[in-house]
Structure 1
Amino acid sequence: MAAPQISEIDVLKKSLRRKMAGCRRTLSCADEERLRGFLIKEILAQPVRKIAAVWPLAEEVDLRPLCYALSEVGRQVLLPETTPKGFPLIFRRWTPASSMIAGRFGTSHPEDEIDVPDLVLVPFLAFDRFGYRLGYGGGYYDRTLAALNVPAIGFGFAGQQIDAVPTGPYDIPLKTIVTECGVIRTDNPKFL
């Protein structure tokens, strides 16, 4: 069996992932709190009821306070369950009383019912002004966004912005990015 071909884009993305992974370590709790403040305002301004968030991995933005706040105002929070490679994520209902179980790649998700979000919050390692993001390399969010066709908001820190994220044919740009500095409406012609 022949080895899979590695494209130039894959090599660029892998190198950029290594470089950007350390960026988040330098940010403070106050930066995260500001980011969550902008993020909840952006979410509550939209007519959505079911929001797909994420339970944090090490060194990721901690959205747990946001999950609790959304639940308190009557929004349904869904958390992803990482599926086998090549499939979109599935989302399970979460409440403050939910039990969390270990998932693939160090993730955690609730044991509750599967549901479909109205809005997906998307983490990244890097982003550009066109709304392209660099994820962890599994393609889960691009497959998920393609399958769901719902609005998505990328979230991370301003220091994660780069001039241009290397993109391939399956990369889906985001219209909105939220950082600790505020809300960014991206310059992608797809959204004009």
Structure 2
Amino acid sequence: MSGLETEKARARQAALRARAACDPALGAALARHVLRECRPPPDAIVAGFWPLPGEIDILPLLHALARTGQRLCLPVTPPRGQPLSFRRWQPGAALLPGRFGTQHPDGDTLVPDFLLVPLLAFDAAGNRLGYGGGYYDRTLAALPGAFRLGCAFGAQEMPQVPVGATDLPMHAVAT
């Protein structure tokens, strides 16, 4: 393991401990904050994510955006080494089981231009730490024009996230 990988592994453990103390129900507050401060443009295709256990619940935000007619999609986790793809989603749509405990819809494939990105940790510069699979790193690189809004609990902020050459920062982080 390289020095950066070791540093990221330690940071992930600290982030998981911090996140475990948070209330996933804070998703309603996150929805209000995003809708007030960083609402996606009406014509944007917004990529959300189905929250994994312990992640902030962005479903209230996705439901609020759906009520305004926003086009939404959720990621499909491909085999390792590939970027995520995104399928059209609306509240109530059936979800299929995916890799790593994820769930995704079976809708049309869409290319998002506004990404809601799950964060394991983040810093004031918008740097993010994920789970280490590189899926969002590859996806963000494949969608360079997309707006990147990280979603996390405030307790997940770190003074400095270890950053590698392929790590792209968020444009903003909502907590």
From the superposition, tell whether residues 109 and 45 of structure 1 become closer, same or farther in structure 2 (CA, over 3 Å): closer
SS at match of 2:173: strand
Query: SS where residue 80 of structure 1 aligns?
Result: strand
155, 159, 165: which is aligned to 1:159? Answer: 155
Task: Give 1:43 shift.
Answer: 4.3
Q: Aligned-pair distance for 1:27?
A: 2.3
TM-fit CA distance, 1:10: 0.6
Post-superposition Cα deviations, 1:67-104, rounded to whole Å, max 9, x if no partner, equal 11111100011000001111110000001231100000
Find out whether 1:51 has 2:56 as its counterpart.
Answer: no
In the alignment, which of 171, 175, 179 is matched to residue 171 of structure 2? 175
1:62 and 2:81 are equivalent in the alignment: no
Partner amino acid, structure 2, of 1:169:
A
Q: 1:92 aligned to 87, 90, 93, which one?
A: 87
TM-score normalized by the length of structure 1: 0.85
CA distance in 2, matches of 1:29, 1:59: 6
* Aligned equivalents of 2:27, 2:140: Cα separation in 1: 25
Deviations 1:17-55 (A, max 9, x none): 112112223223563321221123344253542100000
- Alignment length (residue pairs): 174
Distance in 2 separating the partners of 1:120 and 1:83: 17
Higher-Rg member (1/2): 1
Give the C-alpha shift of residue 63 in structure 1. Answer: 1.3
* Distance change (3 Å), C-alpha of 1:16 and 1:100: same
Q: Percent identity?
A: 43
Q: Give, in whole Å, the separation in 2 of the partners of 1:8 and 1:140.
A: 21
Alignment partners' CA distance in 2, 1:118 and 1:11:
33
Q: SS of the counterpart of 2:174?
A: strand
Question: Structure 2: which 5+ residue stretches go unaligned?
Answer: none
Match of 1:22 among 12, 17, 21: 17
AA at the equivalent of 1:79: L
- TM-score where L is the length of structure 2: 0.93
Q: 1:48 touches 1:119 (CA, 8 Å); kept in 2?
A: no
Cα distance per residue 1:128-187 (max 9 Å; x no partner):
1111111000111111111011111011111111111111110001121111xxxxxxxx
- Where do 5+ consecutive residues of structure 1 fail to align? 1-5, 180-192
Q: Partners in 2 of 1:104 and 1:23 — Cα distance?
A: 25
RMSD: 1.5
Say if 2:128 is the partner of 1:138.
no
